Structure 1
Amino acid sequence: MKGSLKKIFFILTIIIITFISVSSIYYKNKIEEEKDYRVIKVGGDLNFPPFEYIDDNGIYTGFNVDIIRAIALRGGFEVEFYPMKWEEACKKLKNGEIDVIQGMKYTMERSKYYDFSEGYLENSQSIFVMENNYEIDSYETLRGNTVAIQEGDIAINNLKGMENINIVSTKDQEEAFKKLINGEVDAIICNTLTGVNYLDKLKVRNRIKPVDMPLNYTAYSMVVKKGNSKVLGLLNKGLKEIQKNGTYEMVYRKWFGNTNDYPKWYIKNIIKVLLIGSTIFIIIILLFYLWNDMLKDEVKKHTYKLEEANESLKKKNEHIKEEKDFREWILNSIFNGIITINDEGKITFINDMALKILNLEPKEIMHEYIYNTVIKEIFSQEGNINGSGLKEYYIEDKKIYINYNINILNENNQYCNESIISFRDVTEEKLMQETIRTKDKMESLGTLLSGIAHELRNPLTSIKTYAELLPRKYENPRFREMISIDIPKEIERLNNLINDLLEYSRPRRPFKEHINLYDVIDNLLRLINDKIHEEDTKINLNIHKEAYVFIDKNHLKQVLINLILNAIECMDKEEKIIDIYSYIVEGGIMLCISDNGPGIDGKDIGKIYNPFYTTKSYGTGLGLFVSYQLLKENGVNIYIESSENVGTTFKLYFKNVGDGNNI
């Protein structure tokens, strides 16, 4: 018996020791597990009020911070907060440097890297613009504008799918609001509650407004690194407990002023109230049938009001039609031709002046595709109906000039492809310009006559001398050799001079060619040499002898004559100096004609190219007007620099054209 008891006692001792050992190992592992997560590292945005931010006293606070602390208190673990930039927090969680990000919206893309806790707040975003911005009133009207969004915000992915939006990333939402205030962006998209918080913080509630409905309703959750189920379990467990015991409601009230999720006892009371209310509602429904006749009378009254409104709408439609007819009458009364084309390429409107200029009938062109009409032939450039310019066109063998401009219509802030063509007949203006140009050329030609006469005398004197010596020295072989060489040369010289004179006086379109700038100016100065000496003017010529430009030679002569003679006539000093020089600029050559005259008053500079504007008592005011037109036709830009009592410089910019030399 004693032996049996000893065996039983021994077995019980072994069992107890084994149980104690196993228990020790179990609790040791459990303690180690709890120890591993006794301190949890929590990362969050350092400037995302009211959710998480560093206040003016340097304390990290906010709604998410208080929720994490409440969960930690219920779960029996400690937390360490690491405020940082949002993008930095996401990277550190992926790398395992922190355990939790305390607030993040759920997306499919983020779920690849993180595990999300139960949602504890329904979150949304809003569009904020300046109070005086009436162009942006919805999500779609963000097109064509600059929008600021915090780095890493999910709204960036949505905007990237839209066309013509310039996205500006900011380190936080406060920086985005400051860019909006400073006019660097047109709108911002941010968390709705955070945006309202910044309006108060920056004291700009009366300057900034939210537009449209809130965007991107999503659940707001805490996140852990993918696969960290232990910490996620602690978070979900603690979240349920603080929602159950009312702690969550108190935190929510502290930061947002009204409750979001309610405890069960409160929900039960609400259900009781709803049941009572339902009973009362049923009673009201029964009473409804008692005063149904009264409602019928009200319906009749409203029907009468609707009939009145319908009548008013008819009158408004008639008024709109009258306004449309009035607009068409105005368009038909103006002196410009107007044609509108819809996005399908059909002509939707053409006014009377357009029909008159183009010699068309409405039935020939209205509601026709533009590519089947003469409109395409007149106004197209390289097959496209766009741009502006001057068009030469023949209508019934009569040449006319049409000046036109084509614009894309922008209706109701939405982009469309409808076009409007505005044009007018400038044939008379064109002919008048040609007349003025010819008149100015003839005046310039008169100035050249004295120089031409001098040029004619030289070869004629040589020929006369040979003619007088011919009877006496004809037998001299050396004399006969010289006369056979010199007289044809002088005759050729006379012939070239006359040809140049005829070519200069003949009106024609520009004939562009590569010409030597030095030769043209040197020859021109010889022709007006008498005028230069008569006015006792010193000419300093500094043109590279290998400088070539691409222009009509005679047009250039006419321009240079006008500029040089104007410079000579405007100077009233004892020492009159004109500097003519050139230099290389990016893409071409700049030719300068500078004088030391009295200069031009600043208020008159804008008028100098107007026809018939002159400050000289004997001038016609056509010289600079014609010069400007000639340079424009040849693709040459002209600039003026002038200072009173210092002088005036005209600059002619010649572009490189590929052939010839440009030095």
Structure 2
Amino acid sequence: MRKIICVLAILAGTQYMGFAQKKADKTIIYGGDKHYPPFEFVNAKGQPDGFHVDLFRAIGEVMGFQVTFKFDDWSRIRQMLEAEEAIDVTDMFFSAERTQVVEFANSHAVVSHELITRDGTKNIEKISDIANATVVVEKGSILEDLLKKSELQLTVIGVNDELEALNLLAQKKYDYALVSGYQAHRFIAENKASKLSPVGPVVLPLELAFATSKGRTNLIQEINTGLEILKKTGKYSKIYVKWFGEKEESILTKISKWVGLSLFILLVLSVFWIQTLRRMVKTKTVAIKSELNEKINAEKRLKSRELELKEAQKLANLGSWKYDFESETIEWSEEQKTIFGLAINDPVPDFEKFIEFIHPQDREMVTDLFSNACDNPIIYTFEVRAVNKKKENKNLWIKIKPTYDGLKDKIVGLNGTVMDITFIKDVQTKLEIKNEELQKKNLELDKFTYSISHDIKAPIASILGLINLMSIELTDKKSQEYIEKIKLSIDKLNNYVRDVLAFSANENKKINADVIDFEAIIAESFALYKYLKGAKDIDLIVNINLKEEFLSHKSRLLLIFSNIISNAIKYQRHDKSDSYIKITVSGNSEKVDIIIEDNGEGINDEHMEHVFDMFYRGSLNSEGSGLGLYIVREVVHKLNGTIHVQNLAGGGTVFAIGIPSLALEKS
């Protein structure tokens, strides 16, 4: 069965390759370490180069997508990948912990590492010999993670790259550097005066694989398919030889070299063995006692961690399991048995009995995923419904990870976890119901606000018409004074209704991407308030420094400019003859910065922190509704922008607004 699935997977991969080659608009951004030759680095021409660059570009060619490269320090690249920011793929050493935050493709290389020191007389026989030392490693690497978690009480120093680690070691700043063997020997050969040398055996051979952010399993499958195609066509071997080996030699030459090398190594080992035999005999007893104590302590720690793991699984409602193909044995943790309603002493069910717990509508999916996992070394995660032995309905989140044996180059088993998310699903369902009710109430409130505001505007218009008639017929001074006061009050009410409608429109109106003409919007905003008292006495100064097309929402930008401009006109200093509003717009197609400055009355410091609050007015004499600047802030936030205000030293205020392009959201 597994062989048939494997053949079908290869045929599907071949068909997928043909389909993928038809794509022309897909681009994958590869993030690489700029200081990690020969795998990846920035060459003398300032261009991305190395084994991974050639390999991933070849994968893109056979799978039909374009590849662009973004190189930086490794710690920064890792942060961008995990945050799903700016890059799609990078290379990373595989570890079980890292599978919690990234998705791994099949490994394509194994990298060994070595301890480097300045003191060539040191002899490290086991890793515990470096206890309490200071070790420098590449920041954000798996080596840093492993050393920090060790119980050797090491002082671990993280730096930008392995080359920096070796340079710092050569400057006598630390005891050891733990780096890749290739990087170490290359540095030692090029810097003989550094007096650096490897000590002890080669350590930590780690699998290197391409990785994506969590959940991008489709891209992982494409990468695996591309790697398989490159290996079958021989292109992978050519790329590998280009960066790590010489051109092909005859079989006789290779055998001669290996025989000679083996004899040389045998001779060196013989001499070394004779020289160290006496010392080994003297220290053997001490070493045995030390190792025995270590084993005893390790067993104690292991038991303690097993108890901690059980407690952690109980708290998280998380069970674990594993299955070995060769021995056909299945293991379940205690918490997994509890999830499925089994007693601790109950036997572990086989797959046929396990599938009976799964909801009938989900069984086919679960069977297919377990079958695929037997032949594809990628992680599967999925949600299913189940009914346990106690007839309790459960929602479960299952993860399957194939156990890959690199030496045998095949999958030898499966392992994974089962999380009981029934409570979470119940809470989520209740929350969704509450959100629907809240959205319905908000919609009803918006409709009510909009209806009331429109209903008020009609009688306001009628009152203004009557006031105009009264001003014509009642010409005496006292009547005209009363009429003017009534008109001012009606204007305030009209402005309030306008602000309420503007707020409602900002909350509910769909955001559309318009090509923005800032000069036209500013001119339109100023024209809306040319009837205000003092509008003719204020100069409008506009500087637009924007050479690229910018996309945003036109009517919302009009709200921003009109509200700030109207405030500047209302609160200008009438004792000045040079009142102005200065508007500067600068930026590019991705973001604009808007500066709106006036030399008016300014804002009292005691009111500054409240100017954007709803219905806040600095004094009882304020003519506004207290909604203008609140609406401005809400509109800016709706456009994912920022806004700040401060007083100028010579009087007046300045608003600083930053708005990103809506084109970025579309991309």
What's the TM-score, normalizing by structure 1?
A: 0.33
What's the TM-score, normalizing by structure 2?
A: 0.33
